[in-house]
Structure 1
Amino acid sequence: MEAFILAAGLGTRLRPLTDTKPKALVEIKGVPLLDIVIRKLINAGFTRIVINVHHFAGQIISFLNSRKNYGVDIIISDESDKLLDTGGGLKKAAIYFTGKNPVLVHNVDILSGVDLKEFYRLHIEENNLITLAVQKRKSSRYFLFDEEKNLYGWMNEKTGEKKIVREPEGKTERLAFNGIHVVHPEVFNYFPEREIFSLVEFYLELASQKNLPERNKISYIEHTDSLFMDLGRIENLKKAERYL
């Protein structure tokens, strides 16, 4: 099982903590966020983990070396020279995956109760091109799905921005994204030529294409009853301490 941890962000919402360290090494009760995610992945059975780095990249590399890569295959995708956003980060890291297995993508600043092994299994069982972990919860941004559980758009409730990329089928619903998703290796064949782009815009571009196989839809698995905390915000760090 293969996974990709998005850890290259600048962590601007966590300043001043990230003035001297990367977001991935910000701690909760002395435990770095990166450590939490890596251990959860290993416990779920992931044996190859690619991590992208940019902000204070050397600190993350030294941290991993001090722990001997946790005894698994950990590979660094170095974005020190240029931050590539989430989509560009996955595109650059694609060469480190076997191309045979789905890849679970996990934000480094997410604390969740999602069973990663089961989520990965269900993605394979449902034969999706992309499976997003989502919840019915209050958020400023939502993915929009139709009755067939197909992605058809995205919206930012705070700004009023809305992107509809295709006509939905039947009833629709909006769901908040948990920062965890699984992608079929076929996705790597659809990356745009541009170097810097977000996964959200990439997924919306894919959803708009009519030539994708019907079975390979961009869908979701709901985890509304599971724990979710965005640890990219300082006010949530203390709240998270009671869960560790």
Structure 2
Amino acid sequence: MHSLKQALIFAAGLGTRLRPLTDRIPKALVEINGKPMLERLIEKLIAAGIQNIVINIHHFSKLIIDFVEKHNSFGVNIQFSDEADQLLDTGGGLKKAFSLFDPNLPLLLHNVDVVSNVDLNQLAEFHKESESIATLFVQKRISSRYLLFDENLKLCGWRNYKTGEKILVFNNDDKLIEMAFNGIHIVNPQLVKLITEEGKFSIIPVYLRLALSYKIFGFRDDDAFYLDVGNNENLAKAISLLKKYDV
């Protein structure tokens, strides 16, 4: 049995691609079919058995705090990691918020603007069985950036087709599989303790740095639906998608 009991929601972004909606509210409170993205995600996490949630905040942070308090923290323990002074990105955000979690349990990381029906319990079970320090939900879909995996879905590199950049953990890139990362991942406390980066930084370079010495795997589920609701076009898609799946 997995032990997924805590989660960090990344909700501190400015949401500039969702303007004009985010000129008056944070991205986390943008509604899809009458329900804010944050509320949808919290309900999903609670349904998966998670009882301890931290939300990182920056843009219109008081509105997020007020919203959670209005709902009595949805019956679970919800805390906030305030990035008022500086947006820290995923890596820096995780490092700052980590003291609010149980340091002995794995931690789910979830972007607030990611809509997906991936089974979080299956993700957690895979993470436990693989004995990895990080497990990333990935799919075979079109993207400008890909993580590179071997045939066992062990992380081996990263490629950005827009810039031409490529990072290889190992020298040989033959037969590597390109997979798109979906903004949902699980990390062990051990990984956080290995973070040496400071300030604002993405978690992806941390994964790539550690992949040489530690097991980091992709969890592939091409059947799950996924949408990054980071712009108005995808917001419209999400409205239709969630009506289709009746959620």
Which residue identity is paired with 1:65?
E
Out of 4, 22, 25, the residue aligned to residue 21 of structure 1 is: 25
What is the root-mean-square deviation in Å for CA atoms of aligned residues? 1.4
Q: List gaps (5 residues or longer) in structure 2.
A: none
For 1:232, the equivalent position in structure 2 comes to 230
Deviation at 1:237, TM superposition (A): 1.1
Which residue identity is paired with 2:180?
A
For 1:143, the equivalent position in structure 2 comes to 147
Alpha-carbon distance between aligned partners in 2 of 1:159 and 1:221, rounded to the nearest angstrom: 26
For 1:52, the equivalent position in structure 2 comes to 56
SS of residue matched to 2:184: strand
For 1:118, the equivalent position in structure 2 comes to 122
Q: Does 1:67 align with 2:67?
A: no
| TM-score normalised by structure 2 residue count | 0.92
Which residue identity is paired with 1:177?
F
SS of residue matched to 2:17: helix
Alpha-carbon distance between aligned partners in 2 of 1:170 and 1:30, rounded to the nearest angstrom: 47
Q: Does 1:85 align with 2:82?
A: no
SS of residue matched to 1:90: helix
Which residue identity is paired with 2:77?
D
Deviation at 1:147, TM superposition (A): 2.5
Runs of 4+ in 1 over 4 A off after TM superposition: none
For 2:47, the equivalent position in structure 1 comes to 43
Deviation at 1:218, TM superposition (A): 0.7
Residues 137 and 219 in structure 2, CA contact (< 8 A), matched pair in contact too? yes
Residues 153 and 219 in structure 2, CA contact (< 8 A), matched pair in contact too? no
Deviation at 1:158, TM superposition (A): 2.3
Q: List gaps (5 residues or longer) in structure 1.
A: none
For 2:221, the equivalent position in structure 1 comes to 223
Residues 148 and 169 in structure 1, CA contact (< 8 A), matched pair in contact too? no
Residues 8 and 83 in structure 1, CA contact (< 8 A), matched pair in contact too? yes
Q: Does 1:9 align with 2:8?
A: no
| TM-score normalised by structure 1 residue count | 0.93
Which residue identity is paired with 1:28?
I
SS of residue matched to 1:21: coil
Deviation at 1:170, TM superposition (A): 6.3
Which residue identity is paired with 1:100?
N
Deviation at 1:48, TM superposition (A): 0.5
Aligned length: 238
Residues 14 and 27 in structure 2, CA contact (< 8 A), matched pair in contact too? yes
